[in-house]
Amino acid sequence: MANPVFSEKVFRNTVATEDTGVMTVGGTAIKSLVLIFMVLIGAMYTWKVAYEAINPASVQPWMYGGAIGGFILAIIISFKPMWAQYLAPVYAVLEGLFLGGISAIFSQAFATKAPGIVMNATLLTMLTAVVMLLIYRAKIIKVDGKFARIMMIALGTIMLYYISTWILSMFGVNLTMLHDSGPLSIGISLVIVGVAAFMLLLDFNFIEKASEAGAPKYMEWYGAFGLMVTLVWLYLEILKLLAKFAGSRN
């Protein structure tokens, strides 16, 4: 499994019992919708704060608090899948706080250049998820060990890119060409969006295989959580990509 959340170790260490019940695809789908709803609740709050506050910076504590809190919970859930049934909804709300704040910032910054950038990013994320689900169900792309290894290499490369650019920026290295609206920057974003989209195939595969293997009921929350991690990443990358396209039109 290329998604770090869906590791083979987690898959092997889950055993269903009569007390826990058995994981199903339908149950995971319902819990995914619950998490999406929780994200929207958090996002609507920080969006409201950002647009009603006299000082726009007042949204930053909520935004960064949500990002840090969500990151910490994601790590905990990754190591303790059984806790996902309790922590995944909290994670979703925290991620919503972050997404609402960052979305409001993008919306205000591109109100003239790209009105509706947040709505477009949301719709594109939903459309991408539906398309990838259809591709998975139609078995157009074979999701096997080879595909997972390719995705692992791609994900590792992206993580290395994120970390290296962050470190270089701390030392004052000029990385404008990697973050502006130029062809190179847009190309990098397109690749990352593509990888995030294909990660959804692995998420769907994990949920299906875990359900077929009779994973315990709490794994529905874990599967929904893993899917949410990918969707949040996909949305952020699409939002950044649309912003770069808007900047390139100047």
Query: Does residue 1 sit within a domain?
Result: no
pLDDT in tens, the chain (250 residues): 455 565 555 555 555 554 568 999 999 999 999 999 999 999 999 999 988 877 777 888 999 999 999 999 999 999 999 999 999 999 999 999 999 999 999 998 898 888 999 999 999 999 999 999 999 999 999 999 999 999 999 999 999 999 998 888 888 777 777 778 889 999 999 999 999 999 999 999 999 999 999 999 999 999 999 999 999 999 999 999 999 998 876 5
Q: How far apart are CA 110 and CA 127, in angstroms?
A: 22
Q: How far apart are CA 136 and CA 204, in angstroms?
A: 8
pLDDT of residue 177: 74
Q: How far apart are CA 53 and CA 2, in angstroms?
A: 41
pLDDT of residue 54: 72
Query: Does residue 3 sit within a domain?
Result: no
Query: Does residue 66 sit within a domain?
Result: yes
pLDDT of residue 250: 58
Tally the residues of the chain: 250
Local structure of 172: helix, strand or coil? coil
Token duo for residue 243: 């912003």
pTM of this structure: 0.89
Token duo for residue 66: 């949500």
pLDDT of residue 166: 86
Please name every residue paired with 216 in a beta bridge, in sequence order, or none if there are none.
Answer: 22
Token duo for residue 219: 């794994």
Q: How far apart are CA 41 and CA 151, in angstroms?
A: 32
Which CA distances in Å does 156 have to 55, 161, 163, 190, 233?
A: 39, 9, 11, 17, 15
User: What residue type is assigned to position 119 of the chain?
Assistant: M
pLDDT of residue 9: 57
Q: Is 225:23 a contact under the CB 8 Å cutoff?
A: no
Query: Does residue 198 sit within a domain?
Result: yes
Give me the number of domains the chain comprises: 1
Query: Does residue 149 sit within a domain?
Result: yes
Helices (H), 80-180: 84-109, 117-137, 145-170, 176-179
Domain residue limits at 107: 8-248
pLDDT of residue 1: 45
Token duo for residue 154: 């791609």
